[in-house]
Amino acid sequence: MSQITTCTFFKLESFPNKLWAFSQMQLGHAHFKNIAGLVFYKLLGSGAENGFSSKPNFGTYALLCIWETEIHAVEFFENNSFYKKYKSKCFESFTVFGHAAEAHGKWDGKQPFVSNATLALDKPVMVLTRASIRLSKLISFWRKVGNVSKSLEDYDGLALSIGVGEWPLIQQATLSIWKTQAEMIDYAYKNKKHLEVVRLTRKLNWYKEELFARFIPYKFLGKWNGKNVANFLDI
């Protein structure tokens, strides 16, 4: 069986639960030692807007995992005590399963995704963009990215976009899910605000490390925004 990637989003409401989740950004790593089939993982906080955001959202967190097989992922979600405790504190949570189709760049000095799927223009796509921003470039970067985040709101083909990161301000990522790859490409190559940021990224050398990956999402489990996500791309 082939490698898969999962991303679980957690939404918390009460202050004690939000505080607990925030503490797990550091303390939670102790629970990910020697998990069968786990190739790579990241505990991620979130931003307050669709994409990159300097404003934290203390009510939403994410867990990105790469697994040797889906069997290992299911075993974790069904039996892992830390995951069960995290989920019990959530108002809502959902997990998307995906096969990597392409990946470029590095995360912590390595490229962890093994491509084993083929994208199609008329099929759904999940996109991960991640960057570690140079300290000397923080001001110029944050002055420009806000407009790009807001521009996502105008696209009907976008099912979900959440800005996530390991550290506020300096290590940021966006994970977005699109109803079709064609609609994602339309945004990426025709949206003027997005194209301007791409141009400035190359010109100003904002990032000391970056990664871009596309996945075919094939299963959704859980609830988000009050709705069952089993038919996530139809809502």
pLDDT in tens, 129-179: 888 888 877 777 777 666 555 556 667 788 888 888 887 667 788 899 999
Summarize the confidence of residues 195-202 as an average pLDDT: 70
Summarize the confidence of residues 108-136 as an average pLDDT: 91
Answer for the pair 168, 125: CB distance below 8 angstroms, yes or no.
Answer: no
Asked if the model's pLDDT at residue 70 lies above 70, the reply is: yes
Q: For residues 66 and 38, what is the distance between their CA atoms, to the nearest angstrom?
A: 6
Which pLDDT score, from 0 to 100, does residue 29 have?
Answer: 96
| 144/82: higher pLDDT | 82
Which pLDDT score, from 0 to 100, does residue 43 have?
Answer: 95
In the three-class reduction of DSSP (H, G, I as helix; E, B as strand; rest coil), residue 157 is classed as coil
Asked if the model's pLDDT at residue 235 lies above 60, the reply is: no
Q: Encode burial over 171-208: b for 16+ CB neighbours within 10 A, e otherwise.
A: bbbbbbbbbbbebbeebeeebebbeebeebbeeeebbe
Summarize the confidence of residues 54-82 as an average pLDDT: 93
Give the tokens for residue 61.
Answer: 């967190």
Summarize the confidence of residues 116-123 as an average pLDDT: 93
**Count of all residues that appear for the chain in the document:** 235
Which pLDDT score, from 0 to 100, does residue 155 have?
Answer: 75
The pLDDT-based confidence of 23 (bands split at 50, 70, 90) is very high
Which pLDDT score, from 0 to 100, does residue 146 have?
Answer: 60
Q: For residues 181 and 5, what is the distance between their CA atoms, to the nearest angstrom?
A: 18
Which pLDDT score, from 0 to 100, does residue 148 have?
Answer: 59
Give the tokens for residue 37.
Answer: 């089939």
Summarize the confidence of residues 207-232 as an average pLDDT: 90
Which pLDDT score, from 0 to 100, does residue 162 have?
Answer: 87
Summarize the confidence of residues 114-140 as an average pLDDT: 88
Residue 40 exposed, middle or buried by CB count within 10 Å (0-12, 13-18, 19+): middle
Which pLDDT score, from 0 to 100, does residue 163 have?
Answer: 85
**Mean pLDDT, the chain, as a whole number?**
87
Share of the chain above pLDDT 70, in %: 85
Asked if the model's pLDDT at residue 50 lies above 80, the reply is: no
Instruction: Of 40-49, 60-69, 105-114, give the lowest mean pLDDT range.
Output: 40-49
- In which residue are the tokens 């392409």 written? 102
Summarize the confidence of residues 90-112 as an average pLDDT: 95
Summarize the confidence of residues 57-82 as an average pLDDT: 96
Rounded to the nearest 10°, the torsion over CA 150, 160, 170, 10 is: 130
